[in-house]
Amino acid sequence: MKTGNGKKAIKIAVLGMGHVGLPTALGLAELGWQVIGADDDASKVKVLQDGKVTFYEPEMQPLLTKHLGKGFQVTSDVGKAVGDATVLFVCVGTPQGESGKADLSQVEAIARTVAANLNGYKLIVEKSTVPAVTAQWIKRTVVRHARVQSNGQANPGKKKATTIGTLPEFDVASNPEFLQEGRAIENFFHPDRIVIGVDSDRARKLLEAIYAPLQCPIVVTNPTTAELIKHAANAFLSTKISFINMVSDVCEAVGADVDSVAEGIGLDPRIGRQFLNAGIGFGGYCFPKDLRAFLHLGEEHGADTSLLREVERINQARIEIFLNKVRKALWVVSGKTIAVLGLAFKPKTDDIREAPSLKVIEALLHEGASVRLYDPEAMANTQRELPEERGRVSYCKSAFDAARGAHAVLVLTEWDEFRKLDLKKLGAAMAVPIMVDGRNIYRPEMVHEAGLEYISMGRRNAEATVQAIPPAVSTPRRRATAIAVTR
């Protein structure tokens, strides 16, 4: 696969420079491949051409700086990128359409672009999350449109690339990504596994060669099964989260501790500790959307996927469960100032798509509170959705700034920065030192010691708090003593 001068001969185009495409393209460049990143959003391409990443992802900026203009080129001419490359990673968006079904118009557009630029063998690799059987549709679309073009109907002015029956060969493969936002680069170089869904040896060999430097198990299967692996992986992880959130509610009801339950079951290797963090539920661009797409796929084919409906229902209910804790803690929400720590749907990203924080903030504003917001990375994105409004919505410079004069501080994203906060200082800045932690990032004793009331998810802290209140306590702010707040 290498040319004589040591340069690798396979030219790769990554189509779509979003949260999947950009880390993938830079990862492939770092592995030594010649990569063209293409996106029809010219403004995004311009930012990248100027050497700046278009969203925050740890370790990504140095990779762009290192490879731009060398192993990594970027263009808004998607057709040219397709024409110039042999392997085409399709990383375009697959947003949720009406009724939960994935909207595949961008994937279809790519298939047509491939048809129009089919100037030799191409391996089209689905990397975006797509419903099962999309690979078959891509194949069909390329054939149909290449044929139309060969008849001169699609692009009458354009040179004919093909004629019926003599289409250049192409394959469609599924190579689902398992990158997590905030860890995408790390995940790229240290994958748990690589899944390759192919119909031909040629496609398998190409993909195996591309990933050869990465040491990990490779699962080789057919495209539809590979697509199903992606569906099942995200659905299973979502199920794990909703499961522990259900357990969390039971823990609260009976006075047990969900973190210990997670540890107790997670040490069983058949279960595993990861994705058993109880809290305000999952958000982001992937889980909520992928769950609905899988549900829809099952229903479309008459398979019973109702388990996933419950997973979704439990997740959606987390926001109201959390808000009820805030309401009970404050008694009256209207007129209160509430500090929000964490806006991104998870740490180490500036992504706020389907972030639980937005739903919580919206409800609090609706109930007449004002909010003071802080996130280490996601402020600019949030500000675009929810502009600053004097006396109602304020963006703050730090967690302490957000806490200033607040009647409660809410923790909605588990950033490391928040774990390390001087809680005494935080409490001292507040009008009333109440913390409602939707991510369980502190040990309850630690927060109590700092003098804050502390309400978290699925733990005994509220029970302990009730017992800890001496009936005659009369300190006005009860700073050193834990105070009763039941859920």
Site string for ligand UGA, 65-104 (x = CB under 6 A): ----------------------------------------
Q: Of residues 243, 282, 374, 415, which one binds ligand UGA by CB under 6 A?
A: 282
Among 92, 102, 111, 276, binds ligand UGA (CB under 6 A): 276
User: Does 396 participate in binding ligand UGA (rule CB under 6 A)?
Assistant: no
One residue of 55, 121, 178, 400 binding ligand UGA per CB under 6 A: 178
**CA 394 to CA 401: how far, in whole Å?**
10
What is the size of the binding site for ligand UGA (CB under 6 A)?
Answer: 22
Q: Residue 381, interface with ligand UGA (CB under 6 A)?
A: no
Residue 241 found at the interface with ligand UGA (CB under 6 A): yes
Segment holding 119, helix H or strand E: none
Q: Which is nearer to ligand UGA, 75 or 248 (CB)?
A: 248
Stretch that binds ligand UGA, among 71-79, 111-119, 175-183, 459-467 (CB under 6 A): 175-183
- Residue 60 touches ligand UGA, criterion: CB under 6 A: no
| Shortest distance in whole angstroms from residue 233 CB to ligand UGA | 6
Q: How far is the CB of 235 from ligand UGA (least distance, A)?
A: 10
Closest CB 229 distance from ligand UGA, rounded Å:
11
Q: Cβ neighbours of residue 25 under 8 Å, at least 6 residues apart?
A: 12, 14, 17, 35, 37, 72, 89
Told to check if 345 binds ligand UGA by CB under 6 A, we report yes
The upper half-sphere exposure of residue 405, i.e. CA atoms within 13 Å in the direction of its Cβ, equals 11
Binding status of residue 277 toward ligand UGA by CB under 6 A:
yes
Contact call for residue 161 and ligand UGA (CB under 6 A): no
Closest approach, Cβ 422 to ligand UGA, in A, equals: 25
H/E element holding 329?
helix 306-330
- Determine the Cα angle at 126 with ends 353 and 145, to 5°: 115
Q: What is the DSSP letter of 98?
A: G
Q: Which of 273, 275, 328, 468 binds ligand UGA (CB under 6 A)?
A: 275
Beta strand 34-38 with 72-75: parallel, antiparallel or unpaired?
Answer: parallel
Which residues pair with residue 339 across a beta bridge? Answer: 372, 409
> Which residues lie closer than 8 Å to 158 by C-beta, 6 or more apart?
116, 149
Spatial distance between the Cα atoms of 51 and 145, rounded to a whole number of angstroms: 36
From 49, 96, 136, 180, residue interacting with ligand UGA (rule: CB under 6 A): 180
One symbol per residue from 115 to 154: x for binding ligand UGA (CB under 6 A), - otherwise; what is it? --------------x-------------------------
Q: Is 171 in the site for ligand UGA (CB under 6 A)?
A: no
Q: According to CB under 6 A, which one of 171, 181, 312, 437 is a site residue for ligand UGA?
A: 181
Q: Which two tokens stand for residue 154?
A: 């699609």
Any bridge partners for residue 221, and if so which? 197
Among 204, 346, 448, 460, binds ligand UGA (CB under 6 A): 346
38, two tokens = 């293409």
Residue 42 or 232 having the CB closest to ligand UGA? 232
Which H helix or E strand runs over 30? helix 21-30
- Of 62 and 272, nearer to ligand UGA (C-beta) is 272
Active-site residue set: 286
Q: Minimal CA–CA distance to 128: which of 255, 208, 20, 9?
A: 20
Least distance (Å) from ligand UGA to the CB of residue 288? 9
Amino acid at 413: T
Site for ligand UGA contains 284 (CB under 6 A) = yes
Quick one: 180 or 200, whose CB is closer to ligand UGA? Answer: 180
Nearest distance from residue 298's CB to ligand UGA, in Å?
18
Q: Which is nearer to ligand UGA, 9 or 250 (CB)?
A: 250
**In the block, which residue shows the tokens 């063209």?**
36
3 state DSSP class of 191 = coil
Tell me the helices (H) and strands (E) count for the chain, helix number first: 19, 14
Beta carbons of 455 and 436 less than 8 angstroms apart: yes
In order of 22, 31, 349, 355, 433, the CA distances from 59 in angstroms are 12, 15, 12, 23, 37
Q: What span, in angstroms and rounded, lies between the C-alpha atoms of 409 and 355?
A: 18
Alpha carbon 181 to its chain's center: 5
Residues that bind ligand UGA (CB under 6 A): 129, 177-181, 234, 237, 241, 275-277, 279, 281-284, 286-287, 290, 345-346
